[in-house]
Amino acid sequence: MRKKKDSFLNEKDEKPGPVFFALQMIHRLTYINVPIVEAKSSNSLLPVHALLRGDGSLGLMLINLDSKNTATVKIKINGGAFAADGTRFDFDPAKPPDGYVTKGGPANGLGNEFSVQIPPRSITDIAIPKAH
């Protein structure tokens, strides 16, 4: 099997590569024993994954496989009520983070229906707390 050079750690300076950050994005999305819930995408270049966490919050992972176009995605969540504010983590291999950690930031205007833009060839995780 041929190993893709520098996909996990760069051989020269040991800086993390795309696989390192992809695993980090999966870790941010889930916890142990968290059920995966049904999630569908009408765009073959934008798979989506969803998890319902033990605290009632929802974790979404959106992966834009299109190397040229930003995807605007409409999200509709059935079953449960979710907060308008959450947290968003992005990983874009063309703009990797400094250091070893993808930084999260506020995500506003969420709830049970919202739209979000996903940059080309990137992974976005969104954590949405349940509404109070």
Q: Is residue 4 part of a domain?
A: no
Which is nearest to 25 in space by CA: 4, 5, 43, 51? Answer: 51
Domain count for the chain: 1
pTM of the full structure = 0.80
Domain span at 34: 18-128
Q: Is residue 93 part of a domain?
A: yes
Q: Of 8-22, 47-61, 78-92, where does mean pLDDT reach its minimum?
A: 8-22
Q: What is the pLDDT of residues 70-115, one digit of tens each?
A: 999 999 888 789 999 999 999 998 888 888 888 899 999 999 999 9
Length of the chain: 132
Q: Is residue 83 part of a domain?
A: yes
Q: Is residue 9 part of a domain?
A: no
Give Cα 74 to chain centroid, integer Å: 15
> H-type helices in the chain, by residue range?
18-29
